[in-house]
Amino acid sequence: MGENAGMLELAILGFLYDAPLHGYELRKRIAALTGHVKPVAESTLYPAIKRMEKAGLLARATQPGAVAAPRHVLTLTEDGRGELRRRLAEPDRRDITDENRWFTVLAFLRHLDDPVAQAAVLRRRLAFLEEPASFFYEGDRPLRAEELDDPFRRGLLTIARATSRAELTWLRETIGSLDG
Amino acid sequence: MGENAGMLELAILGFLYDAPLHGYELRKRIAALTGHVKPVAESTLYPAIKRMEKAGLLARATQPGAVAAPRHVLTLTEDGRGELRRRLAEPDRRDITDENRWFTVLAFLRHLDDPVAQAAVLRRRLAFLEEPASFFYEGDRPLRAEELDDPFRRGLLTIARATSRAELTWLRETIGSLDG
DNA sequence: GGAAGATACCTCGTTACCGAGGTATAGCGA
DNA sequence: TCGCTATACCTCGGTAACGAGGTATCTTCC
């Protein structure tokens, strides 16, 4: 059981939930999903697959190579499918607070077939984002973008604010329509 | 020498470049900067400080506790100051492509006292962001937000697009004003 | 037929990072 | 004076992730 498992395992579970894939294809999908934000090394992916196989979350079947070298087609076991649903329904703290992990949760949240449970997860993220937080302080007072004479930090705040606003808007809308 | 050092070390170098701080204060500043996106554990920070002391990047001076337990005030050495400038001027690939690391670079880029060098760093990020990239594919065709019937993935794309747009606008503006 | 390039998978050694837990100092209220 | 909270720092065991490097298959082009 993956009590302390990372974002990578969640992504593997998520992609395989839809359809069996071989490692190389999985790698491309993960790279598309998170690669431009947090790249994934091959030497991280393949050991993760082995770990998960050993844990009984997925099964491998060797297939003669359609294009080149032989492939290992990966299929989720029932345990694996349950594990994904469990991790989506009860994300741990880091899945909510770490942006990369959160976006991975979001990418597969539809697999949780229950609008109430989905809304509960979104609400946890909303609560986290609504906690007051700033980037830079002068003593105890948070500094606003306009107060910074450093153009780079000003940029940082501008970008973060745009992200935050987009996410908050979307969260509130979506929670509303899941409830309604 | 930190050839392969992480984002944490960059943040430590950056904050101490301005002023000496003790570990606990450093921790609060790092938490404010990156904590709501990627939390930092104490058990990661203190070993990092030790590593960097051993590497000659910073020096520690014990001070009787002003408020409570005794503090170790951390000061960058000349090597440490040089290391920050080097890492800002020649960020490695992951500093550009990993969002957390990139934002850390941005937070301290002003310490690079040369607009041309600063603009060069921004241009590397711009080039990276301008590479075509999507999140989800149907075969080889990238899927747009509007095409997804999954509200969560649609949200993902919406948020990512808002971030990307804000960053691109800011990058182009700022590169322009650094050049001009 | 030989080289190049894409596909596909893997091992190894190292390290950054984590959670759990521990120690000590100081101030405050009961 | 007994806890409680906040400050401040630390160790330990475990593991996820990394870069560097390697192997094998198949197609394409010269």
Sign of the dihedral defined by the CA atoms of residues A134, A135, A137, A142, in that order? negative
The closest of A102, A56, A106, A50 to A77, measured between CA atoms, is A56
Q: Which of residues B156 and B143 earns the better pLDDT score?
A: B156
Task: Give the gyration radius of chain B's Cα atoms.
Answer: 19
- What DSSP string describes B114-130? -HHHHHHHHHHHHHHHH
**Quick check: B69 pLDDT over 90?**
no
Confidence of residue B119 (pLDDT cuts 50, 70, 90): very high
| Cβ neighbours of residue A45 closer than 8 Å, sequence gap 6 or more | A8, A23, A26, A27, A30
**Quick check: B138 pLDDT over 70?**
yes
- Ramachandran assignment for A139, one of left (phi > 0), alpha (psi -120 to 50 degrees), beta (any other): left
**Quick check: B146 pLDDT over 60?**
yes
A88 CB neighbours in chain B (<8 A) are none
Is residue B131 classed as helix, strand or coil in its secondary structure?
Answer: coil
**Spatial separation of the C-alpha atoms in residues A109 and A118, rounded to whole Å:** 7
- pLDDT (mean) for B15-33: 93
pTM: 0.91
Q: Are residues B155 and A162, on separate chains, in Cβ contact within 8 Å?
A: no
The Å distance, CA of B42 to C1' of C22, is: 14
Q: pLDDT truncated to tens, each residue of chain A (180 aa)?
A: 345 578 899 999 999 999 999 999 999 999 989 878 888 899 999 999 999 999 999 999 988 767 778 899 999 999 999 999 999 999 998 899 889 999 999 999 999 999 999 999 999 999 999 987 778 877 677 788 888 899 999 999 999 999 999 999 999 999 999 988
Q: Which amino acid is residue B106, in one-letter code?
A: L
B177 CB neighbours in chain A (<8 A) are 151
Instruction: Tell me the pLDDT tens digit for each residue of B79-92.
Output: 999 999 999 999 99
Q: Quick one: three-class SS letters along chain A?
A: CCCCCCHHHHHHHHHHHHCCEEHHHHHHHHHHHHCCCCCCCHHHHHHHHHHHHHCCCEEEEEECCCCCCCEEEEEECHHHHHHHHHHHHCCCHHHHHCHHHHHHHHHHHHHCCCHHHHHHHHHHHHHHHHCCCCCCEECCEECCHHHCCCHHHHHHHHHHHHHHHHHHHHHHHHHHHHHC
What pLDDT was estimated at residue B2?
42
What pLDDT was estimated at residue A141?
77
What pLDDT was estimated at residue A49?
96
Phi, psi (deg, nearest 5) at residue B72: -110, 105
Q: Which amino acid is residue A180, in one-letter code?
A: G
Task: Give me B9's structure tokens.
Answer: 């070390």
Strands B141-142 and B137-138: antiparallel
Task: Give me B62's structure tokens.
Answer: 């014990």
Cα first-last separation, chain B: 36
The Å distance, CA of B37 to C1' of C19, is: 19
Lowest mean pLDDT among A65-69, B34-38, B141-145, B148-152: A65-69
Q: Which of residues A63 and B23 earns the better pLDDT score?
A: B23
Owner of token pair 């989720």: A76
For helices B151-179 and A99-108, the axis angle rounded to 10 degrees is 140
% pLDDT > 90, chain B:
71
**Spatial separation of the C-alpha atoms in residues B78 and B109, rounded to whole Å:** 18
Q: Over chain B, what is the mean pLDDT?
A: 90
Those of residues 76-115 in B touching chain A at CB distance below 8 A are: 94, 97-100, 103, 106-110
For helices B99-108 and B7-18, the axis angle rounded to 10 degrees is 10
Strand C-contacting residues in B 41-80, CB cut-off 7 angstroms: 41-44, 47-48, 51, 64-65, 67-70
Task: Give me B141's structure tokens.
Answer: 């065709």
